[in-house]
């Protein structure tokens, strides 16, 4: 199916790679034209729907779901696995122009939660609370490369 052009943007080439077999999870209304378009874009780039959610390296969320963002299934697990999480779709927003609110319409794809799986602590925090590092390592660190094949 050809693109309708709703989601075409400069960032699509860098955010949605041409990598055959990249598993993805899509959170989007089935009836949406944008859903059909993003599935077409993903198919032309060789991406495939993930068989299991925890195998997805690419997670796409429609902007329509922003009000219920905290209820998206497995979102925290996707962030912990450092999957690329993209927000896509059209939006109508407002911006201030010369002291008045003006409507702004846009579309496209943007990356959200960059480096979400990375946990950072200051040295001061770790010196004051050394027990935290043990719990973090027990939860996050994997003993072999099967957990992160990209390493």
pLDDT band (50, 70, 90) for residue 61: very high
CATH number of the domain at 12-116, please?
3.40.1010.30
Give pTM, 2 decimals. Answer: 0.66
Q: In 3-state terms, what secondary structure has residue 137?
A: helix
* Per-residue confidence (pLDDT) for residue 43, from 0 to 100: 87
Q: Determine contact, residues 106/91, Cβ cutoff 8 Å.
A: yes
Residues of the chain with CATH 3.40.1010.30: 12-116
Q: Would the pLDDT of 99 be above 70?
A: yes
Q: In 3-state terms, what secondary structure has residue 94?
A: strand
Two tokens at 92? 């109508």
């Amino acid at each position: 199916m050809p693109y309708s052009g709703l989601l075409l943007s400069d960032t699509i080439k860098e955010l949605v790679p041409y990598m055959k077999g990249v598993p993805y999870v899509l959170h989007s209304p089935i009836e949406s034209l944008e859903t059909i378009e993003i599935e077409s874009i993903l198919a032309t780039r060789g991406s495939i729907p993930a068989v299991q959610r925890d195998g997805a390296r690419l997670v796409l969320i429609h902007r329509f779901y922003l009000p219920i963002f905290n209820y998206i299934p497995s979102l925290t697990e996707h962030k912990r696995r450092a999957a690329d999480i993209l927000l896509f779709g059209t939006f109508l927003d407002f911006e201030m122009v010369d002291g008045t609110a003006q409507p702004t319409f846009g579309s496209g794809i943007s990356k959200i939660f960059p480096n979400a799986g990375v946990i950072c602590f200051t040295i001061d925090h770790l010196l004051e609370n050394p027990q935290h590092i043990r719990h973090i390592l027990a939860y996050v660190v994997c003993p072999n490369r099967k957990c992160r094949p990209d390493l």
